[in-house]
Amino acid sequence: MKLAHKVAIVTGGGRGIGRAIAMRFAAEGAAVTLAGTGRDHLEATAAEIAAAGGRAQAVVADVSDEPAVARMTEATVGRFGRLDILVNNAGIAGPTAAVADAALAEWERTLAINLTGAFLCSKHAVPHLIAAGAGRVINITSVAGFIGYALRSPYAASKWGLIGFTRSLALEVGAHKITVNAIAPGAVRGERIGAVVRDRAAALGRSEAEVEREFYVDTTALKQMVDPEEIAATALYLACDDARSITGETVTVSAGFRL
């Protein structure tokens, strides 16, 4: 049990990468708050964890809403008594559009969830991590945080920003034995990449199969997408004591995406 007696918040915890991380953390002994906006998915994941003998609660919270983030954090400490790990996973794909055609509201919403949400969750979690005597913050960014990404500029900007936020927060809280790291997945199998492929194919006037192969498979050394459980395994490593001297870093899990 690598996370026995630990308490974690996983935002976006009801589906995809967040669900995989929450399930893995709970299997390793952590009590987990699953946060997000989709109540049904959150409660289903929490129920699955409980059925396997773990501890979990579902909290509906929009991470771009500071009062909601404060309630989420207090609900975690109120239920489980402490907070040791924060996983900032909540995110949206944003629009698939050229900058000249993108709506300001779509730009603002993408940054609000993907970047401001991580800031707000960290702001409210850090005092509790300090009180615990040590802690972990793990931000889920993307390989889009290293590259130019035509037709996805809001998403790329948010993920570049998240890497800078990771490095900056690591310097602020290191003296409290809190590590702050990021994971940059490549294309991860699941609903989101399916929607991204569909929207990109429509924007380019090409087939979904062509877009998936050219942009998300052939660009990798292993010629494959990544499974959510692979991201969860990396998150577990960064959350446990084995990684206690790693901070301010971004770990890429991308099947060898060509940066």
Q: How high is the pLDDT of residue 191?
A: 86
Q: What is the set of active-site residues?
A: 155
Q: Point out which residues pair with 56 in neighbouring strands.
A: 32
The pLDDT tens digits along the chain (259 residues) read 999 999 999 999 999 999 999 999 999 999 999 999 999 999 999 999 999 999 999 999 999 999 999 999 999 999 999 999 999 999 999 999 999 999 999 999 999 999 999 999 999 999 999 999 999 999 999 999 999 999 999 999 999 999 999 999 999 999 999 999 999 999 999 888 888 899 999 999 999 999 999 989 999 999 999 999 999 999 999 999 999 999 999 999 999 998 6
Angle, vertex CA 167, rays to CA 164 and CA 170, nearest 5: 145
What are the tokens at 224? 């494959």
Q: How high is the pLDDT of residue 186?
A: 94
Q: How high is the pLDDT of residue 179?
A: 98
Residues 6+ apart with CB under 8 A from 78: none
Domains annotated on the chain, with CATH: 7-186+227-251 (3.40.50.720), 187-225 (no CATH)
pTM value is 0.95
What are the tokens at 247? 């901070």
Q: How high is the pLDDT of residue 187?
A: 92
Amino acid at 116: T
Of 129, 177, 179, 126, the closest CA to residue 6 belongs to 129
Of 27, 47, 36, 28, the closest CA to residue 9 belongs to 36
What are the tokens at 100? 């000249």
